[in-house]
A and B are shown apart, each in its own frame.
Chain A
Amino acid sequence: MIENRKIKVLVCKPGLDGHDRGAKVLARALRDAGMEVIYTGLHQTPDMIVQTVLQEDPDAVMLSMLSGAHKALCPVIMDKLKENEIDDVLVSVGGIIPEEDKPFLEEHGLKGFYGPGTELKTIVEFVKNNLKR
């Protein structure tokens, strides 16, 4: 029995995008929902993100991207996770993700795609309901 199980979440800012208001607000909301949250800070390269996943073993990884670099960076991140045999982590990307880019990202294993105007509780529920383990 997992008596003390907490959901552990990584909130990341990949690439050079410096808009961190949403990521920080989300991190607080996840904490207020009883989760253990690590915010990685800005300017994360795919290697840094994967390294953090390898060591912290989160249940979910939330990528916050508002600069348009998602199509370039997300596949790289997903590939590196696969290389390291990490397949039971929920990976979600949000921020500014145009509708037409979603199928491409879904093919690469990402989910979520929450953008401006989303209620925090929607994202919290999404995390709870989409964990892979």
Chain B
Amino acid sequence: MDYSDLIEKLLNGNSRAVARLITLVENDIKAAENIVKAIYSHTGNAYILGITGSPGSGKSTFISTITKLFAEQGKKIGIICVDPTSPITGGAILGDRIRMKDNFSLKNVFIRSMANRGQLGGLARATEDAVKILDAFGCDIIIVETVGVGQSEVDIFKSAHTVIVLLVPGSGDDIQAIKAGIMEITDIFVVNKMDLAGSDKKIADVMQMLELRMNYKYESENHEENNMLKLKWTPEIIKVNSITGENFEPLSELINKHRKFLKDSGVSEIYQKNRIKSETLQILKHKISQKVEGLIHSNPTIDEYLRLVMDKSLDPYSMANLIIKLLGIE
């Protein structure tokens, strides 16, 4: 299939082309390969923000407000909102767009909703490819928003430049509700709804949690590389009011500060390497699990193995090893 027409339109700033290409990368990994090949050299300009928070943290209002701020700064913004797919029906209600009504009228804002399609659906891969498309489209800032409940969502955030987690004053549940993997890679903690009682306590809770954190996000496995790092980043905490816009200027400055850190510290390159590794791993995982699934459903030898396991002559681990042999990747 030839996508050159769509890609040309994309590079010329055509919205419909963006949307069509995103649909293609969502649905078809072969198409995704061809499309990414064609546009990869046009990517790398966008700054990617990963934003998450538990339900009730006011994500949509927050994103609306920060988008407006960026738009006023003359930026072109792309927003990808990820919502969960029902594991029972396979369907999804993509309900974030409706909460960002204000941004409809903004010319330079492109909003796209995606369903996570279950854990093995290749969400991370699809989202990363969608990000690339928006990047090639000319977005200065791309916001990826998820509910943060699945492993794939953690993986998406591994390739964001700045990761922001939204918390709310009140119960301590929200810190618990956010998947552990995300807390460890958060760069800025935002306490939303600062007008509510308990916002300072929430800040104190986060600081306490940070003291217990073991890993430093920007560490390399390579000692030498680590020694070359000139600066360190301690996660920042800030409180805001997304409805009144209070403290959004300081927040914007914080984001810029982090952006500068990534550049000046030398972490950028290490980080980019890690991101590429992580991204490629996602693609590999997706391709391999597809192959394996295809194999399991079609290969009669698998039925043999199954019968042996059911008879207890074979165990699942041994069966897995046999399948790996079958695939030829020992």
Contact = CB atoms under 8 A, between A and B. Distances in A.
Interface of A: 1-6, 8, 27-28, 30-41, 48, 51-52, 54-57, 84-86
B26 to A, nearest CB: 7
Nearest to A33: B91
B142 to A, nearest CB: 14
Interface in B118-144: 121-122
A3 B27 CA distance: 6
Contact of B93 (A1, A37, A51, A85): A37
A36 B86 CA distance: 10
Interface residues of B, number: 34
B289 to A, nearest CB: 11
Interface stretch (B14-22, B33-41, B156-164, B227-235): B14-22
B47 interface: no
A85 B26 contact: no
Given A31-B92, A52-B104, 12 more contacts: A3-B290, A4-B26, A5-B28, A6-B115, A33-B91, A34-B91, A36-B92, A38-B93, A38-B97, A55-B111, A56-B19, A57-B20
A92 to B, nearest CB: 18
A35 B144 CA distance: 22
Contact of A6 (B15, B27, B101): B27
Contacts, number: 87
Contacts of B29: 3
A28 B89 CA distance: 11
B30 A55 contact: no
Given A41-B101, A85-B16, A1 B30 contact: yes
Contacts of B121: 4
Contacts of A30: 91
A48 B93 contact: no
B271 to A, nearest CB: 30
Contact of A55 (B85, B89, B110, B115): B110
B112 A56 contact: yes
17 contacts: A1-B28, A3-B27, A5-B28, A27-B93, A30-B91, A32-B86, A36-B91, A36-B94, A37-B91, A38-B93, A38-B98, A39-B98, A52-B104, A57-B16, A57-B22, A57-B23, A85-B16
